[in-house]
Structure 1
Amino acid sequence: MSQPSEWPLPPESSRFVVPRKTVAHLSTHTLTKGLYPIGLGYYKQAFNHTMLRRTHDDYLMIYCLDGEGELTLDHESYDIKAGDIIFLPRGVPHAYRASELTPWTIYWIHFSGEQSEDFIDYLAVRENNFVLPLGIHARLTSDLESLLECRQSSYNLSAFVHAANLLRQILTHIAQLQPLAKQQKAAHNFDLELIHSLMQARAHEQLDLDTLAETANLSKFHFIKKYKELTGTTPINHFIHLKIERACHLLDVTTKSINEISFAVGYEDAYYFSRIFKKIMGISPSQYRRMRMGTYPYSY
């Protein structure tokens, strides 16, 4: 493990290095060898916190909750602010420090495992993109705090198996939050909330791309491109999924016929509606209703 900082801990902060014997177990355990923590901590208003690593032999995540800091990579500096996450892959020399005037408050995790690089790739961490502006998220903070609880069970392997899989959940949650961060960043010139509100309001009828693009004050081509950049899907695909979500709700809470539900979500052809429903849900509308009533097996 890369050497953690020797910053003197105040009472409100914590630092924990996973015992070497436990790390050895985690590195070979079927449920954890892909990804596991080897050191973690929480530094509150870390005045004078600084670190220089010319050799970095694991993976490091730093989540800034408050204040500011600075990251230096290959003589290039990056200002870190609240809501930013730093990911530093193995082999990347680096230096970082808390701001003198407004020192940062951070969670940090050193981690390793056979799939560490896969997670770094999944999060699109690459050269010149080691800082992800994510924003402050209560659930992410709560999960990081739960992860820190493993320090209270330093000799309980099952606690660290749980911690390793919680770390996996944290990283995949960050991947889910990234499109939202991009949406917020682009909010000044692309009101995604307005687009989605329009889709919700017209889920009972048809809505074409021309209308959506006009609402966004963009050409159809640029609207589709921008929407996909922010959401990872196309506007029409999202609109169809909204319709099917609405159809599922109607199947759950009403006794309307399939034809009536088809019409209620904007499809005049019930056969076509059933095809779309099955393509998305994996079962037909009638099978979905029977499953809710317990007359169709859930394991489809």
Structure 2
Amino acid sequence: MKHKKDGFTGQRAIVLPPAIIELLQNNEITNLLYVTDIGFYPKASGHYRTRPEGASQHILIYCTEGKGWFNVNGVHHDIEKEQFFIIEAGLPHTYAASERNPWSIYWIHFTGEKSHLFKSIYNKVFNIDDAPDARFKDRLILFEEIYQNLEKGYSIENLEYTSLCLWHFIASFRFISQFREVNKASKGNIIQEAICFMQKNINKKLSLEEIAESVRYSPSHFGQLFLKKTGHTPLNYFTHMKIQKACQLLDFSDMKIKEIADKLSFYDQYHFTKVFIKILGESPSSYKKRNKG
């Protein structure tokens, strides 16, 4: 089969000109993370790219149909439907569609001063498992937000908007679980179930045993799982949620600090203030004095 880098029926692609790339590099919003190339190749039979010196940008490829493969750092990876990978800039690589079942891919070349923040997902294969809350269409809507705005021209507003959309688009791959929370029923996810339980009981005092019981786990096992998932113990997380709620009450109500402390079941106003300072670095009264919008 003849190899080719593009020229597929129904393909779409935009390659930003060097002058626009320079503009992106010098803009304080866009220079952090921005698109240099973007496209969609449907049923890309014969698709094959090899770059012995690597690319100047990171390359995200999201396969929505068919199969393909890539090789980076001398390691071969097979790719199929609802999998994605990001090839790190500067690494020699090759990628191609399957000859028997060529892939359909959405792809973006991106870079920026903060593009290294996604390094943890570079040069690996990730699967996006199918589920009622998968939000496959929502992710593609984000892609279209970027593509269609770039297609309409390179105004500063379009460039800044697409740069900000890119953060969300890549985050939808990096933080799949969080991206799905919008549509996710909490049933079956004990961490989210526990957090929902905390939210519903934000005005109460809860023990580790009570939170663990709400998800039908032993306190010790639940505590370990929660810490591993969130980086916080359950009670520490619950305290942070209370302080977040306190901030909302300070911002948008006329409640006094003592009233807020009572409402959120702190021992007293002194205890509430001590915890507030520990978490936010300032007292509730100082926080309340600042002009909030």
Which bracket does the TM-score occupy, shorter chain normalised?
0.7 to 0.9
Q: Hey, what does 1:143 align to over in structure 2? A: 142
Q: Deviations over 1:54-90 (max 9, x none)?
A: 43313101234x43433333463334333x4321112
- Which AA in structure 1 matches 2:290? P
Alpha-carbon separation, structure 2, partners of 1:71 and 1:133:
17
Q: Hey, what does 1:202 align to over in structure 2? A: 201
- Which AA in structure 1 matches 2:47? T
- Which AA in structure 1 matches 2:93? P
- Which AA in structure 1 matches 2:68? E
Q: Hey, what does 1:241 align to over in structure 2? A: 240
Alpha-carbon separation, structure 2, partners of 1:93 and 1:205:
55
> Is 1:119 equivalent to 2:127 in the alignment?
no
RMSD: 3.8
Aligned residues with identical type, % of pairs:
23
The 1:26–1:258 alpha-carbon spacing in structure 2 relative to 1, beyond 3 Å, is closer
- The 3-state SS of whatever aligns with 1:153 is coil
Match of 1:52 among 40, 49, 53: 49
Alpha-carbon separation, structure 1, partners of 2:273 and 2:233:
21
Alpha-carbon separation, structure 2, partners of 1:253 and 1:22:
43
Contact 1:67/1:99, CA 8 A, preserved across alignment: no
> Is 1:297 equivalent to 2:293 in the alignment?
no
Q: Hey, what does 1:180 align to over in structure 2? A: 178
- Which AA in structure 1 matches 2:162? A
Alpha-carbon separation, structure 2, partners of 1:238 and 1:38:
40
Match of 1:37 among 9, 26, 35: 35
TM-score (norm: length of structure 1): 0.72
Alpha-carbon separation, structure 2, partners of 1:281 and 1:272:
14
Mapping 1:150-189, distance limit 5 Å: 150-153=150-153, 156=155, 159-160=158-159, 162-172=161-171, 174-175=173-174, 177-180=175-178
Alpha-carbon separation, structure 2, partners of 1:287 and 1:138:
44
User: Could you tell me how far 1:193 is from its partner in structure 2?
Assistant: 2.9
Alpha-carbon separation, structure 1, partners of 2:58 and 2:137:
24
- Which AA in structure 1 matches 2:37? G
Q: Deviations over 1:94-125 (max 9, x none)?
A: 32426956x65543111234543x1332xx12
User: Could you tell me how far 1:210 is from its partner in structure 2?
Assistant: 3.1
Q: Hey, what does 1:264 align to over in structure 2? A: 263
Contact 2:49/2:95, CA 8 A, preserved across alignment: yes
Aligned length, in residue pairs: 277
> Is 1:131 equivalent to 2:95 in the alignment?
no
Contact 2:45/2:103, CA 8 A, preserved across alignment: no
Contact 2:249/2:255, CA 8 A, preserved across alignment: yes
Q: Hey, what does 1:81 align to over in structure 2? A: 81
Contact 2:68/2:98, CA 8 A, preserved across alignment: yes
Alpha-carbon separation, structure 2, partners of 1:77 and 1:198:
41
Contact 1:180/1:230, CA 8 A, preserved across alignment: no
Alpha-carbon separation, structure 1, partners of 2:49 and 2:151:
25
Contact 1:213/1:223, CA 8 A, preserved across alignment: yes
Q: Hey, what does 2:67 align to over in structure 1? A: 69
- Which AA in structure 2 matches 1:50? H
- The 3-state SS of whatever aligns with 1:266 is coil
Q: Hey, what does 2:14 align to over in structure 1? A: 16
The 1:227–1:137 alpha-carbon spacing in structure 2 relative to 1, beyond 3 Å, is farther
Contact 1:195/1:212, CA 8 A, preserved across alignment: yes
Unaligned residue ranges in structure 1 (runs of 5+): none
Alpha-carbon separation, structure 1, partners of 2:107 and 2:211:
42
